[in-house]
Amino acid sequence: MNFLALFARNLTKGPYTEPFPFAPAPTAKRFRGKIEFDAETCEGCRLCERVCPAGAIRMTRTAEGMTFDCWHDSCVFCGNCEFHCPTKSIHQTADWHLAHTQDQKFLMVEHALIPNQICAECGKEALATAPATRTVTPPLSPTETQHLKALCPKCRAKFIRARKAAA
């Protein structure tokens, strides 16, 4: 565009400058920003922790279950965790408002807990993760998935084997 055309456009369209910080800044829907984690759908495979190049994610076994922590002060917004997560329980939001003063450092954490539960079949204590059901054929019904979620890993495997044998 030559100078005159630009000049004419600026005259008619007004200033090109974004009003931020005096008004919200436009953000693309797919902007790769702050990490968000959903403990409900997480399978507890810990792939995200393993693939994170910045070591921003840590999952730890505690007495109550397994905790998930992602430090926004370490995350490099690469999207590796989201790419590899089989359930997309971890994903990047379009939120980039992360600037903070020094006293807040390392306090901006995405924290969640995958609690322990008592297995509905054998009564053993195990993590209440979402069951990995993508490869199961035929696909599980919602009630079956619900039932599977209440079981421990061993009983889950038993259930799936029995289902396969029946099919």
Partner 1 sequence: MLASFRELAVKSPWIYRINAGSCNGCDVEMATCALIPRYDIERLGCQYCGSPRHADIVLISGPLTRRVLDAARRVFDEIPDPKVTVAVGVCPISGGIFRESYAVLAPIDQYFPVDVNVPGCPPRPQAIIEGVAEAIEVWRQRL
Selected binder of partner 1 within 4, 11, 13, 21 (CB under 8 A)? 21
Residue 99 binding partner per list partner 1, ligand SF4, none, with a CB distance cut-off of 5 to 8 Å that depends on partner kind: partner 1
66 in contact with ligand SF4 (CB under 6 A): no
* Total binding residues toward ligand SF4, as defined by CB under 6 A: 27
Among the candidate windows 76-84, 118-126, 128-136, 146-154, which touches partner 1 by CB under 8 A? 76-84
Site for partner 1 in 98-117 (CB under 8 A): 98-102, 104-106, 108
Q: What is the 3-state secondary structure (H, E, C) of 18-64?
A: CCCCCCCCCCCCCCCCCEEECCCCCCCCCHHHHHCCCCCEEEEECCC
What is each CA distance from 109 to 8, 74, 105, 142, 155, in whole angstroms?
A: 48, 10, 10, 32, 34
Q: What is the 3-state secondary structure (H, E, C) of 110-158?
A: EEEEEEEEECCCCCCEEECCCCCCCCCCCCCCHHHHHHHHCCCHHHHHH
Selected binder of ligand SF4 within 69, 77, 91, 121 (CB under 6 A)? 77
70 in contact with partner 1 (CB under 8 A): no
> Shortest Cβ distance from residue 37 to ligand SF4 (Å)?
6
| Number of residues assigned to the chain | 167
Q: Report helix, strand or coil for 162.
A: helix
Is the bond leading into 138 cis (omega within 30 degrees of zero)?
yes
Count of CB atoms within 10 A of residue 113's CB?
13
Of 51 and 136, which has the nearer Cβ to ligand SF4? Answer: 51
| Residues within the interface to ligand SF4 (CB under 6 A) | 35, 42-48, 51-54, 56-57, 70, 75-81, 85-87, 89-90
| Residues within the interface to partner 1 (CB under 8 A) | 15-18, 20-21, 25, 31, 53-55, 71-78, 96-102, 104-106, 108
